Structure 1
Amino acid sequence: MTIETSLGLLRVAVVGGGPGGLATAIALSNIPNVEVKVYEQASLLREVGAGISIGQNTWNVLELLGVADTLTSGHVTDVVGNLNGKTGEEIHRQVKTAPVKRPQIRTQRTKLQSALLAHVPPGVIELSKKLTRIVDIGNDGVELHFKDGTVATADLVVGADGIRSVVRDAAWPDYEIKFTGTTIWRALLPWDDVVKQDPRFATTAWWHGPTSHVWFSPVGEGLGEIAARSWQDPAVHSADKVSWGVPVGNAYVESHFEEYLPQIREVISWVKEGDWREFAAFAGPELSKLTAWDDKVVLVGDSSHALSGAFGSGAGFAMEDGWVLAQALRHYRNDVHRALPLFDRIRLPYYARMYAHLQGQAAQRAAKLAELGESPSYDDRVRVKIIKDGGSDMSWIYGNHIGRVWEDAISALEQGQTEDT
């Protein structure tokens, strides 16, 4: 059932041209009486990073957006390993055997972006629009001020501008993200040569140290991804909140993995100088609402749940957010005062569950380390770090079907209305 009232044209400004912003624009473009604009700070729309996972949850929302058939490039990752980076011991292997319409893949981030762009209507995206601030102007909506001196006005602002969100900083001024201590370096390499170095590199896998790991995965079209990650005590080491995807020298990256197997260090050394991109991981507390300013601001994607990519499916979450937002607006015929609370009602519990899961994982690891005594070995610390399948059911994330979630929410809403009457 859709509410049979219409409030006229709704002007929506989406800040950020990543997967979440593009998906939101696609979904909103299919809603009657919605005018949508995407404001992207870059002068050229391109993804920063290397690879991205497309699991069942992400395929499900891509299907709903009409984008799934456009994404045709990637490497099937139905086997994923976890190995000791120093000894080469395989500690755990995940094998997906259940039949699915579309297998999980690892692809280049640019391929996902291109697939989404193909479905964004012409004239929707404006580039070189770096947002500096937003201003609540009462009944007239929200003003968006950009670095180039221009100003735009919207009835609804969608913050799809990531974990360092300018929109969130304006509407939630007391919210603070902090450096987690984790830094990630990403690069792409021709993969045939990598596999010749060690045939095990043909399988998507994490190679672990106690406080670091190196991720190897093919991403299709002859390329593969290296994502190297290391943790340092954030009480001692700091990071720049605004730096994201910045170049970093090879020697600095290599210095964090000197204990790893020779063949891993060799492949890391093949990255051309200047090709590494550094990403400092930040995180922030759980929000009690994803909407603000009397339902004139809403957050989607990483801006709404600052978890530093903890589940490896941030693009999927962001696209789910955008799709649900559009359905809520359609359901209530663009009445933001009814649609945005419904969006909160659906998405807030989902993110709350993620925060709770991460807290539980941290407690589990801490307990296991405590059992090992004061001086656990390198190998023991690696084993504790890897939480195997079976410890918890993660289908609520990786098997999530946002279309069914929406249907269940509307059914529950209508049932509640029936009981009230």
Structure 2
Amino acid sequence: MSIDKKLKVAIVGAGPGGLAAIIHFLRVQNVDLSVFEAARELREIGAGIGINQNTWRHLQLMGVAEKIEQFTNRGDGTKIDVENRNGTNGKLISRKYQSTDPDTPARSRIERYKLQNALLSAVPKGLIQLNRRLADIEEREEGVVLIFKDGTSEGPFDLVIGADGIRSVTRSYAFPDHKLSYTGKTAYRIIIPGEEVAHIPDIPQGSCFWHTKETHIYTNPLDNGLFEIATRAVIPDENGTKVSWGTEVPREEVIGHYTGYCETIRKILDVPKKWLEFAIFGGPRLESVIHGGRIALLGDASHPLSGAFGAGACFAFEDAYVLSKAVDQALKNGTTIPNALKEYDEFRAPHYKALYQVLDGYARTAEEVKSLNAELSDDEFVEEIVQKGLAGNTQWIYEYDVTKVWQEKLDSALKGKDGSDTSLALGVAAIAITA
């Protein structure tokens, strides 16, 4: 590419992943950036969102961490971080307290709009074009053209970044054979004033998962006197029509799924008059998240993990960081964008493969417990599953520092220009690196 010609980049989607991509690509020189968002206005629906150690690191990297007041909080060793309880009888299974690390904010649970506003603070006003719902994509010799539902089009672009979420139109175009499917589970979420449940005894003062054999419920006191409730229910979709996402439903449609829970939970669930319903979809891991040398996916668009690990925003932040660095390096070194996308793809694939392997391990554990412990009562089954889950090593997910691993990749490339391969490992995730 000529040094005088700017790289035309389009970002489709302005959720957390898209906003992170904007922030990182604004730092790449010689880029002409366009951003398209389907919504008429930027707003977040749902309940809270978890901000873990790795997420804080990325928010700092993007210069927006201090926009979230929880960033200044530090644990004193007495505040409950998370509990696991038997949902049927309320018995405590495990409890963890917040970190006392003076350099690391405690894991936080915040309202989604706060994260969105923090990220938007680093985005120039007017850059995001709203009400631009992508309908189709055309690849032409001169670049990629985006066609929108209203019949308008934009382009051609040298690079299109699909950050358009789990129902990604970009992914459907690039990988038409990849299909999402309803998981058989539906989430119900709501945030209410904490005073509405203050009269209910035995409500934990920190994040708490209430488990039964088939489902779980999550409760958490948020800041500003709010209280979050998130549930999952097993709801078969016999007609294949379960597609709700943020649909408002009445209380009566929710509480019937949880009659077997303890009195504390039943009283909590009876408070909200209306809930938001989210049908949970998932899909298999894509072996590659790039297409045609000019299209790349990130976040939920690239790997629909169905909300596993509570770190979807952070995974998208990692993707945005690596993709921007790969493109920046290509522009500086005079290499091609297809090569940059290949580097991004090969760098992130092993990490996502390790995440899917963890999910596969969870499924195997559940089946093993069922088959090997056929005589366990439901309460014993719940405790066994929770304890086995806690014993699994997933801390590497939240401690993984993609910036460090990327720098190690660059360092190894400088040392080994003979074309040899170097492999680096972090936790249980082997990050394959081509030097």
Task: Return the TM-score normalized by structure 1.
Answer: 0.92
- Equivalent position of 2:346 in the other structure: 345
Find the aligned partners of 1:175 and 1:80 in 2 and give their Cα distance: 36
User: RMSD of aligned C-alpha atoms?
Assistant: 2.2
Query: Which residue of 176, 182, 186 maps to 1:183?
Result: 186
Q: Give per-residue Cα distances to partners, 1:239-265, cap 9 Å, x unaligned.
A: 534x31111221111111111122211
> What pairs with 1:158-307 in structure 2 (closer than 5 Å)?
158-233=161-236, 236=238, 238-241=240-243, 243-273=244-274, 276-293=275-292, 295-307=293-305
Find the aligned partners of 1:331 and 1:219 in 2 and give their Cα distance: 41
C-alpha change, 1:78 and 1:348, in structure 2 (3 Å) is farther
CA shift for structure 1 position 392: 2.4
| One-letter amino acid matched to 2:95 | R
- Equivalent position of 2:83 in the other structure: 81
Look up the SS of the partner of 2:416 in the other structure. Answer: helix
Look up the SS of the partner of 1:398 in the other structure. Answer: helix
- Equivalent position of 1:406 in the other structure: 406
C-alpha change, 1:271 and 1:127, in structure 2 (3 Å) is same
Q: Is contact 1:52–1:106 with CA below 8 Å preserved after alignment? A: yes
Find the aligned partners of 2:239 and 2:392 in 1 and give their Cα distance: 32
Find the aligned partners of 1:156 and 1:51 in 2 and give their Cα distance: 33
Query: Which residue of 119, 127, 130 maps to 2:133?
Result: 130
| One-letter amino acid matched to 2:347 | I
Uncovered stretches (5+) of structure 1, i.e. residues with no partner: none
Q: Give per-residue Cα distances to partners, 1:200-226, cap 9 Å, x unaligned.
A: 332210011111111001221111210
Look up the SS of the partner of 1:330 in the other structure. Answer: helix
Identity of aligned residues (%): 37
2:368 aligned with 1:367, yes or no? yes
C-alpha change, 1:28 and 1:302, in structure 2 (3 Å) is same
Q: Is contact 2:189–2:277 with CA below 8 Å preserved after alignment? A: yes
Find the aligned partners of 1:14 and 1:232 in 2 and give their Cα distance: 35
2:32 aligned with 1:29, yes or no? no
| One-letter amino acid matched to 1:91 | I
| One-letter amino acid matched to 2:197 | V
Find the aligned partners of 2:80 and 2:327 in 1 and give their Cα distance: 37
Look up the SS of the partner of 1:69 in the other structure. Answer: helix
Uncovered stretches (5+) of structure 2, i.e. residues with no partner: 421-434
2:377 aligned with 1:377, yes or no? yes
Task: Return the TM-score normalized by structure 2.
Answer: 0.89
2:325 aligned with 1:327, yes or no? yes
| One-letter amino acid matched to 1:179 | Y
Q: Comparing 399-408 with 25-34, which one deviates more in the overlay?
A: 399-408
Find the aligned partners of 1:96 and 1:179 in 2 and give their Cα distance: 35
CA shift for structure 1 position 370: 1.1
Q: Give per-residue Cα distances to partners, 1:352-410, cap 9 Å, x unaligned.
A: 0011111112111211111221x642212322432456622222211122211211222
| One-letter amino acid matched to 2:83 | G
Q: Give per-residue Cα distances to partners, 1:129-173, cap 9 Å, x unaligned.
A: 1111111112x1111111122111122111111111110000101
CA shift for structure 1 position 78: 5.5
Q: Is contact 1:19–1:318 with CA below 8 Å preserved after alignment? A: yes
Find the aligned partners of 2:121 and 2:403 in 1 and give their Cα distance: 22
Find the aligned partners of 1:135 and 1:387 in 2 and give their Cα distance: 50
CA shift for structure 1 position 267: 1.6
- Equivalent position of 2:425 in the other structure: none
Find the aligned partners of 1:415 and 1:249 in 2 and give their Cα distance: 62
Larger relative contact order (CA 8 Å, sep ≥ 6): 1
- Equivalent position of 2:124 in the other structure: 121
C-alpha change, 1:215 and 1:238, in structure 2 (3 Å) is farther
C-alpha change, 1:281 and 1:218, in structure 2 (3 Å) is same
Q: Comparing 218-227 with 346-355, which one deviates more in the overlay?
A: 218-227
- Equivalent position of 1:14 in the other structure: 11
Q: Is contact 1:136–1:142 with CA below 8 Å preserved after alignment? A: yes
Find the aligned partners of 1:178 and 1:49 in 2 and give their Cα distance: 21
Q: Comparing 206-215 with 5-14, which one deviates more in the overlay?
A: 5-14
Find the aligned partners of 2:298 and 2:144 in 1 and give their Cα distance: 17
Aligned length: 411
Find the aligned partners of 2:249 and 2:116 in 1 and give their Cα distance: 24
C-alpha change, 1:82 and 1:134, in structure 2 (3 Å) is same
- Equivalent position of 2:426 in the other structure: none
CA shift for structure 1 position 124: 1.4
C-alpha change, 1:43 and 1:73, in structure 2 (3 Å) is farther
CA shift for structure 1 position 25: 0.5
Find the aligned partners of 1:78 and 1:416 in 2 and give their Cα distance: 48
Q: Is contact 1:346–1:409 with CA below 8 Å preserved after alignment? A: no
| One-letter amino acid matched to 1:217 | N
- Equivalent position of 2:60 in the other structure: 63
> What pairs with 1:306-325 in structure 2 (closer than 5 Å)?
306-325=304-323
Q: Is contact 2:250–2:273 with CA below 8 Å preserved after alignment? A: no
Find the aligned partners of 2:202 and 2:32 in 1 and give their Cα distance: 52
| One-letter amino acid matched to 2:248 | P
Q: Is contact 2:197–2:271 with CA below 8 Å preserved after alignment? A: no
Find the aligned partners of 1:387 and 1:332 in 2 and give their Cα distance: 47
Look up the SS of the partner of 2:331 in the other structure. Answer: coil
Query: Which residue of 91, 97, 107 maps to 2:93?
Result: 91
Find the aligned partners of 1:12 and 1:408 in 2 and give their Cα distance: 27
Look up the SS of the partner of 1:359 in the other structure. Answer: helix
CA shift for structure 1 position 419: 6.0
Look up the SS of the partner of 2:242 in the other structure. Answer: coil
C-alpha change, 1:171 and 1:419, in structure 2 (3 Å) is closer
CA shift for structure 1 position 412: 2.8
